[in-house]
């Protein structure tokens, strides 16, 4: 048998589980988006000249890069699977009051 041929046994561990990976990545995306929203709300509630602004702005940018990588992974997997029920998805846009 040629060395570049793969048998069914070698391919089977990853087959059929890609939707689970996409689901896990989408859960991570939702958490990342929630984290970014919280950072932005917190930063805008700080007074001008706050030392926290620079650090948290960098953290939000880093989290945006993580969400881009996760979404790229989901796109490559190609499994269109929702990770949470619709009511919890719509609740994620409600922002808590500043305090």
Handedness of CA 70, 75, 79, 84 (dihedral sign): positive
| Average per-residue pLDDT for the chain | 74
Domain spans in the chain, listed from the N-terminal domain onward: 18-77
Helices 18-45 & 52-77, crossing angle to 10 degrees? 160
Q: Under a CB-based contact definition with an 8 Å cutoff, are residues 68 and 33 in contact?
A: no
Q: What is the pLDDT of residues 48-64, one digit of tens each?
A: 888 888 899 899 999 99
Q: Under a CB-based contact definition with an 8 Å cutoff, are residues 43 and 63 in contact?
A: no
pTM of whole model > 0.75? no
Summarize the confidence of residues 66-88 as an average pLDDT. 75
């Amino acid at each position: 048998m040629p060395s570049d041929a793969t048998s069914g046994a070698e391919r089977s561990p990853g087959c059929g589980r890609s939707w689970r990976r996409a689901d896990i990545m989408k859960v991570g995306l939702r958490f990342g988006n929630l984290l970014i929203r919280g950072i932005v709300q917190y930063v805008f509630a700080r007074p001008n000249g706050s030392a926290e602004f620079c650090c948290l702005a960098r953290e939000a940018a880093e989290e945006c890069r993580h969400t881009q990588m996760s979404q790229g992974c989901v796109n490559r997997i190609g499994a269109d699977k929702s990770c949470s029920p619709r009511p919890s998805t719509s609740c994620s846009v409600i922002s808590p009051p500043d305090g």
